[in-house]
Structure 1
Amino acid sequence: MNTLPPDSDPAPPTPPTASQRVIAAFERLTEANRPELWSTLRAVEDVLVDAKAVEERVQAGEDLPLAGTVFAVPELIDVAGQPSGRSVPETSATIVARLTAAGAVVLGKTGAATVASAWDRTKTGGRGAAVAVALGIVDLALSTAGPVPAALNAVVALKPTRGLLPMTGVRSSEAVSVYATGLVAGRRALALMTGPDGISAARTWPADVRLGAGEHPRVAYARGLPLGPAAALAFENTVKLLTAAGVVLEPVTVSGGVPDGFDALLLPTVPDHPELAEALADPAAVHHRLAGCTAFANLLDVAAVTVPVLPGDKRPFGVTFLTRAFEDQIGLDLATVCTDEPMTPYPEPGEDVVVFGAHLRGQPLNARLTELGARFTRPVRTTESYRMVLLDTEPPQPGVLDHAEGSSLDGESWRLSPAAFERFVTTLKEPFVLGRVELDDGSRPLAVRCAETADGTGLDRYESWRGYVRFTSTAGLRAPG
């Protein structure tokens, strides 16, 4: 018999320090040999000084979510001490300052010239910002070029609703996008940059903003666009992938933003991938062709998420999800289906509510949440301090009560906008009330509970309402206690 203890799971790799990541970035710069991507590169000594300062802040106990992150900035966005046109600004743009405050380090400024793709030097890659991300030189890049370069280099592009990012220090009327290798990294940077700075014009989320589109969102997708074979295949495969995930898709002739009755509009980001020589010889014509699928994304009041989609020959292409203004989260959630990344929340205002019974997904009252634009965030579990009882309601529902010798209960956490939360509260009738519960992670969110005077049959054999529902569906109605 083997008496040795089992092997422990391997420890996750230690993330690189800020200095290690900077050194790796400069090594990658040398390997890639793409000086045309940059209008200005900072000296390695200066970047390492910033990296060391980040490490000292971490050692002092600061929580820096972007420590070990290197990013690039386009010429039209100010970086303190770096040339911007004919001047050298003393302060950075607000969005740059917010990233560096979170621990990110600026490597340099990318140029506006057309450059070769990261994947194929004979193909156009659009602007240098997306190429620098695709080559692994930087983790993030800011850009005013929109989704096209992201699709040409197989990276993610996030363009939030206009006005959510402060434009102080941004010398462009174009919306700012974030390029990243993945949705999680891009969303994290976007969240840190979001919010008014008291200087430039700003917008805030409406009180009744929709945070989710339910389990079966309705998405219109473009038909009749002139696509090359590879782009057409990639787009077709994306439609199939989304359909398999439960998204309800319907083809439409694109004439503007998101059509009425739909939660989002799905577009191919580019129709093909032109040769670099063609893009340099006739830049206006190539730009017009490439931007044709998503040109109105920068003109309309919409949010956009672009993710890479690779056809059979593995050439980079992408799809773009357009959503109405302030419904950025819906686009992010749809895009995760294409990237297989976890869904992460954008920092819109709202209230989290835990439900245990008929409001759960797939249960009779779940529509009361989804019709209010609520967003499912995660499954949850309480501490062993609660008891569930069967109430005499229609439809049948459980009540959750405090109990000193109780058990853990499974539930779901949903997030609602402020106005939706108020409307949801009005749907709760006696004996249901909102009260706090303690979860096994130590948090104490609001939850749908019942008055302590409520009477009902104990469901002590079950840790979840779904467990009881399964029991009754197979064994028939009987005393469940």
Structure 2
Amino acid sequence: MTLSLSSSLDFASLAAGYASGSFTPSQVVAQVLARIKAAGDDKVWIAKSDEASLLRRAVELEAVPEARRAELPLYGIPFAVKDNIDVGGMPTTAGCPDYAYTAEADAETVRRLLTAGAILVGKTNMDQFATGLVGVRSPYGVARNPFNADYIPGGSSSGSAVAVSAGLVSFSLGTDTAGSGRVPAGFNNIVGLKPTKGLVSARGVVPACRSLDCVSVFTLTVEDSMSVLEVLAGYDPGDAFSRHAPVMPPAPARGRRMGVPASGQLRFFGDDAAQQSYVQAVGRARDLGWQVVEIDFAPFAEVADLLYSGPWVAERTAAVGDFIAAHPSAALDVTRGIIMGGVQKSAVDAFRATYRLEELRAKAAAQWTLMDLMLLPTSGTIYTIDQVMADPVATNTNLGAYTNFVNLLDLCAIAIPSAMRPDGLPCGVTLMAPAFAEAMAADAASALHRQSGLPMGSTRLPPPARPMEYGRGGLARMLVVGGHLSGQPLNGQLTGLGGRLVESCRTAPVYGFYALPGTPRRPGLVRLADGAGASIEGEIWEMTPDAFGRFVATIPAPLGIGQVDLDDGRTVSGFLCEACAVQGAREISAFGGWRAFIASEGG
């Protein structure tokens, strides 16, 4: 496998290249820099990491011993962040140069990604103060839609979406209050994951509507987005809106009930191509064996209208209104008008709207008894830049018809590519699920995305044949092969943290298995350089990210958590051992598992 300007930066391709030694993080960084240079003045970036620091980061990763690289789930993966997310030592502008400040520390999301081995390339363009779904409300220009520069890239996370679609980075962070992590995904033929509110920390993010804001993830595949979520998810005591994720059982999406709006409740604003794309997506859902059921979309639509017509706009005023009042010329006219419009909202308005929201929430809950997932267009249409500039408010409002209600109703959502229109523009759909059911939505989204047969982003490359395995419902998933197996002495460490057994499995036949010296008795699983090893029995367990982090912190050297290949082609996080630690240890690969070895000794 060689690396070129046309190579895919999806996670599976990079992991395979690193594992085989075909390329290094330094070479990936060099390719990323070359791609950014070739893209020219695409208006994607507000600030970039300098070349020297990127190469230093790559060299640091290359210096990590090979046996410990598997402990970095995002080893050598290049990413970008929206410029309302803090990166220590870099300016945060939120799309407003006069607002800029130099961040003293990384946002919690950035810290987690860097700790997991990712490489930060830079900070991306956005609709000013994250106010807009269009991607044109920026004094830094309009990020170029890679399919047609006359059309909007979608906002407010415009630069983050374009960077992934154009193959400049493997993934990026956006934010999503009203749809900013989904609409740009639809317009750029990529995946946009909007997690449940509070599942991912928003500490270090310039707020838009703080009670609704979510950090979102853009990737080329659903599996990649869930791999990022596994790193990001977890309670943050420093974020007052952070939430503990409940332990949820896995829920396969195939065969489940897929809700779609009843006839006459869909709006495509005269866009026949968008309507046809959605009809085709619903047909593919049926082909996959899902039960498509019509639901009453009216309560969802009314909640969508509440977001900007109701008092929640006053939250935007609370976030940055004082700055704009003191520096009125610093904000764009449309941005200033929206944010300062919140001054007119009263506490009485807020209570009345809250009461109405709860009434609508009850009506929406009744619809959820009929469905397990909801399948909607990501947007009802797409506009040219000129169309948006001519009517900035109405066009933006139309783009939020299928997105604005999601955070108010505490849902999670995954936007995926669906079709290419006759005019060459991409069209997307979004799968929505109740809070903390990301994995159920992801299972369905992955199947539907692959069924579309579309290439990844604007790269024209097909998705990888073998997706990586990921946790379910925002849970971390882990392979155990020794004392933590069911019935073994250390299994209580998992169950005590709320861990749940998912399945029994076996590794691919490429590992050596050793009985390590000392107590408690424990094995060491090592991937063999020549690939001529044994298939070892194991179990897959899952737990919340918080519990997973606490568990990993207790693992003593020379053991660690890395990526392990299974015999059915999946890749999961699991126990691995440093190769140097098994020198002189007894090899027990022939037993095929820890239980069989213990039984052979009368244990």
TM-score by length of 2: 0.56
Secondary structure at the residue paired with 2:388? helix
Please name the residue that 1:367 is paired with.
none
Question: 2:116 matched to which residue of 1?
Answer: 102
Q: Of the candidates 37, 43, 55, which is equivalent to residue 50 of structure 2?
A: 43
> RMSD across aligned C-alpha pairs, in angstroms?
3.3
1:135 to 144, 166, 172: 166
**1:193 equivalent in alignment to 2:232:** yes
Alignment match, 2:396: 287
1:123 alignment counterpart: 151
Q: Distance in 1 between matches of 2:594 and 2:34?
A: 43
Q: 2:243 aligns with which of 203, 208, 216?
A: 203
Retained in 1: the 8 A contact 2:152–2:382?
A: yes
Distance 2:590 2:414 in 1: 33
Shift of 1:382: 11
Tell me, in whole angstroms, the C-alpha distance in 2 between the residues paired with 1:28 and 1:416: 38
Alignment CA distance shift 1:64-1:210 (3 Å): closer
In the other structure, the counterpart of 2:197 is: 162
1:348 maps to which residue? 475
CA contact (8 A) 2:161 2:188 kept: yes
Q: Which amino acid aligns with 1:250?
A: V
Aligned letter for 1:118? P
- Corresponding letter in the other structure for 1:296: F
Shift of residue 345, structure 1, vs aligned partner: 2.2
Judge conservation of contact 2:109–2:232 (CA < 8 Å) in 1.
yes
Q: Unpaired segments of 5 or more residues in structure 2?
A: 1-15, 94-99, 128-135, 137-141, 301-363, 451-466, 481-499, 509-536, 545-588, 596-603
Equivalent pair of 1:38/1:110 in contact (CA under 8 Å): yes
Distance 1:185 1:132 in 2: 15
The 1-side partners of 2:540 and 2:101 are apart by 49
**Given residue 107 of structure 1, which amino acid in structure 2 is its aligned partner?**
V
Q: 1:240 to 1:139 in 2, by over 3 A?
A: same
Residues 195-233 of structure 1: per-residue CA shift (max 9 Å, x gap): 1233213222234x3430564111101242122222112
Match of 1:319 among 414, 429, 445: 429
Shift of 1:302: 0.6
Deviation at 1:166, TM superposition (A): 1.5
Q: CA deviation at 1:83?
A: 0.6
- Residue 217 of structure 1: aligned partner: 256
From 275, 291, 298, the equivalent of 2:384 is 275
Which of residues 150, 158, 163 in structure 1 aligns to 2:185?
150
What percent identity do the matched residue pairs reach?
Answer: 29
Which string of whole-angstrom CA distances, capped at 9 and with x for unpartnered residues, describes residues 27-77 of structure 1? 111211234111112211122112211221255734222122111111211
C-alpha deviation, 1:160, in angstroms:
1.1
Q: Is the 8 A contact 2:295 2:370 kept in 1?
A: no
Q: Show the counterpart of 1:261.
A: 370
Q: Distance in 1 between matches of 2:254 and 2:191?
A: 24
CA distance in 2, matches of 1:198, 1:176: 16
Residues 350/192 of structure 1: CA separation in 2 closer, same or farther (3 Å cut): closer
Q: Quickly say closer, same or farther: Cα 1:264–1:376, change in 2 above 3 A.
A: farther
More helix, by proportion: 2
The whole-number CA distance in structure 2 between the counterparts of 1:352 and 1:71 is 27
- Give the direction of change, closer, same or farther, for the CA distance of 1:152–1:61 in structure 2 (3 Å limit): same
Q: 1:308 to 1:47 in 2, by over 3 A?
A: same
Higher relative contact order (CA 8 A, sep 6+): 2
Over residues 298-325 of structure 1, what are the superposed CA-to-partner deviations in whole Å (9 max), with x where a residue is unaligned?
Answer: 3220111111111453521111111001
Measure the CA separation in 2 of the matches of 1:213 and 1:317: 26
Q: Distance in 1 between matches of 2:40 and 2:506?
A: 52
Per-residue CA deviations over 1:306-358 (Å, capped at 9, x if unaligned) read: 111114535211111110011111101110111235663235279999xxxxx
Unaligned runs of 5+ in 1: 1-11, 354-374, 384-410, 419-437, 445-481
Contact 1:152 1:316 in 2 (8 A): yes
What aligned pairs does 1:310-459 form with structure 2 within 5 A after superposition?
310-311=419-420, 313=422, 314-340=424-450, 344-346=470-472, 347-348=474-475, 380=505, 442=593
* Equivalent of 2:280 in 213, 237, 241: 237
**In 2 relative to 1, CA 32–280 (structure 1 residues): closer, same or farther, beyond 3 Å?**
farther
Tell me the SS of whatever aligns to 1:48.
Answer: helix
CA separation of 1:123/1:92 partners in 2, compared to 1, >3 Å: closer, same or farther? same
1:285: Cα distance to partner?
2.1
* Amino acid aligned to 1:195: G
Aligned residue pair count: 367
Scaled by the length of structure 1, the TM-score of the pair is 0.69
**Aligned partners of 2:23 and 2:442: how far apart in 1?**
27
The one-letter amino acid paired with 2:396 is H
Contact 2:45 2:123 in 1 (8 A): yes
8 A contact 2:274–2:421 mirrored in 1: no
SS in 1 for 2:149: coil
Paired letter, 1:348: L
Q: 1:22 aligns with which of 29, 50, 53?
A: 29
Cα gap change, 1:376/1:229 in structure 2, threshold over 3 Å: closer, same or farther?
Answer: farther
Give CA deviations for 1:371-410 in whole Å, capped at 9, x if unaligned. xxxx996784699xxxxxxxxxxxxxxxxxxxxxxxxxxx
> Among 209, 218, 223, which residue is 1:179 paired with?
218
Partner of 2:408: helix, strand, or coil? coil
